[in-house]
């Protein structure tokens, strides 16, 4: 059962005018989830296009324009929003989120949209998530230090944006985590930790800049 942090079933938010709507560039994705309409009914759904401000949802019951909904989407998490248009087989949802949450959503959408193109590792043993703090450092064994931005992490490794490309197998220290380079892609590298961790919160703490 999805959390019912919705107004009463009778509440329908007023439709926003086209001039009031903030437009975002949507990217093509394919992720599954569930959504709940204002009358508390729940249904499965699939997101085909999404930005930090909008989502194109394929849904068995489209709801009505102006209706508030809550959705839980794989890799994205909980989203709140309003139906702003009905489309063939579903609806277009305007996402309500804080600037910080939009930034995190944008990072996760970038990974979802480009993981195949960039050949990012799809480690199916462990879920991959975007960390709260994406800035860290990479230190090579010879002492050279580079700032980096973390694309995603799992219990066993991370994908990072990095200006240099250490050779495959090169040992590095990412934050305070010992790791080795296991893959190159256009904007960085993927690393595998020296030992798999037990909690993502521990991974995040150890990836912070020293």
Per-residue pLDDT tens for 61-99? 989 999 999 998 877 778 899 999 999 899 999 999 888
What's the confidence (pLDDT) of residue 96? 92
> Measuring CA to CA, which residue among 100, 104, 84 is closest to residue 92?
84
210 pLDDT higher than 90: no
Could you count the other beta carbons within 10 Å of the beta carbon of residue 108? Answer: 23
- Alpha carbons 74 and 66: distance in angstroms, whole number: 24
What's the confidence (pLDDT) of residue 10? 37
Rounded mean pLDDT of 119-148?
Answer: 76
Q: For residue 5, how many C-alpha atoms fall within 13 Å in the half-sphere facing its CB?
A: 8
What's the confidence (pLDDT) of residue 15? 39
Residue with tokens 């009463």: 8
Higher pLDDT, 18 or 112: 112
> Do the beta carbons of residue 82 and residue 94 sit within 8 Å?
yes
Distances, alpha carbon 85 to alpha carbons 38, 62, 139, in Å:
16, 9, 49
> Measuring CA to CA, which residue among 70, 59, 56, 53 is closest to residue 28?
56
> Do the beta carbons of residue 146 and residue 138 sit within 8 Å?
yes
What's the confidence (pLDDT) of residue 95? 93
What's the confidence (pLDDT) of residue 11? 33
> Measuring CA to CA, which residue among 43, 71, 70 is closest to residue 59?
43
Mind listing the pLDDT tens digit for each residue in 6-50? 443 333 333 343 433 445 678 888 888 889 999 988 888 889 899
Which residues share a beta bridge with 152? 159
> Do the beta carbons of residue 62 and residue 86 sit within 8 Å?
yes
186 pLDDT higher than 70: yes
What's the confidence (pLDDT) of residue 16? 41
What's the confidence (pLDDT) of residue 113? 72
What's the token pair of residue 144? Answer: 């050279």
What's the confidence (pLDDT) of residue 84? 95
Which residues share a beta bridge with 125? none
The percent of residues above 90 in pLDDT, for the chain, comes to 23
Higher pLDDT, 142 or 200: 142
What's the token pair of residue 17? Answer: 């005018």
> Measuring CA to CA, which residue among 75, 85, 12 is closest to residue 55?
85
- Alpha carbons 165 and 168: distance in angstroms, whole number: 9
What's the confidence (pLDDT) of residue 123? 45
129 pLDDT higher than 60: yes
What's the confidence (pLDDT) of residue 168? 85
What's the confidence (pLDDT) of residue 172? 92
Average pLDDT, the chain: 79
Higher pLDDT, 99 or 204: 99
């Amino acid at each position: 059962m999805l959390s019912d942090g919705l107004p009463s079933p009778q509440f329908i938010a007023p439709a926003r005018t086209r001039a009031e709507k903030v437009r975002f560039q949507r990217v093509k994705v394919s992720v599954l989830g569930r959504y709940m309409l204002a009358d508390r009914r729940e249904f499965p759904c699939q997101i085909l296009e999404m930005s930090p401000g909008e989502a194109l949802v394929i849904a068995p019951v489209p709801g009505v324009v102006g209706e508030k909904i809550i959705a839980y989407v794989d890799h994205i998490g909980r989203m709140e929003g309003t139906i702003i248009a009905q489309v063939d087989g579903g609806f277009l949802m305007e996402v309500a989120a804080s600037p910080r949450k939009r930034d995190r959503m944008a990072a996760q959408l970038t990974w979802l949209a480009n993981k195949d193109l960039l050949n990012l590792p799809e480690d199916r043993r462990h879920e991959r998530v975007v960390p709260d703090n994406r800035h860290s450092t990479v230190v090579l064994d010879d002492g050279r230090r580079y700032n980096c931005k973390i694309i995603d992490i799992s219990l066993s490794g991370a994908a990072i944006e990095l200006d240099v490309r250490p050779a495959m197998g090169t040992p590095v220290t990412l934050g305070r985590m010992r790791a080795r380079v296991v893959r190159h892609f256009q904007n960085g590298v993927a690393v595998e930790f020296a030992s798999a961790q037990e909690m993502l919160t521990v991974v995040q703490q150890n990836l912070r800049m020293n």
